[in-house]
Each structure stands twice: as structure tokens, then as C-alpha cells.
Amino acid sequence: MSVITGKLLIDLLPNGTVRIRLIANNGGGNVAPFTARNLEIAEGAFIRTFGLTPERALELRAELERNKEFCIQMCSDDAVAAMFCRS
């Protein structure tokens, strides 16, 4: 299993939907955003999918509520990166 590095861009849209996009540093191609219906569902995805601690996921949720966007550098494995790839 390889590791993919890139930027994780997270936006809180006006309708309450959370859009999560992974922009890989290497390669290109289309990026299909992962969307969550609301912040509560997104917070769960941060924990389950991205391996954040519950405390860190809560901090990220608070940051999204304040600034409506968040961007971090991250490393993910193929399974996580596959969520964002269009086939």
C-alpha cells in the first residue's frame, strides 16, 4: 500500500454541507469531492476515515464553523485516496 501526500481542502457550504477534497501533490487527474450532509457527519468522517482523534475532529469542526474552510497537508493511504478518485 502506497502513501499519497497532498492538501486536504474542507469547505462548509452555505446549505450546511461539508465538501472535502484531496489534491495530491504527485500526479493529477480529476478529484471527486467527498461530501457530508452536515458538520456532525463530517466530524465522524474525520475520525473514521482520516484517523483524527475525537478531540482533533472537534477542533476541526470548530474551525469550519468559524472560518467556513480549512486546508491541511496530509499523507493518506490508497484506500483513503480512492474515495476522491473518479473512475
CA distance 51 to 5: 15
Best CA proximity match to 9, nearest among 79, 68, 83, 70: 70
pLDDT in tens, the chain (87 residues): 566 677 888 999 999 999 988 777 776 555 668 899 999 999 998 888 777 899 988 998 999 999 999 887 776 665 565 555 544
Domain boundaries, the chain: 3-82
Q: Distance between alpha carbon 82 and the CA centroid of its chain, in Å?
A: 12
The one-letter amino acid at 47 = I
Whether residue 2 contacts residue 75, with contact meaning beta carbons closer than 8 Å, is answered with no
Quote the pTM value.
Answer: 0.74
Judge contact between 60 and 52, C-beta under 8 A: yes
Instruction: Please report which residue ranges of 1-87 form alpha helices under DSSP H.
Output: 39-48, 54-67, 78-82
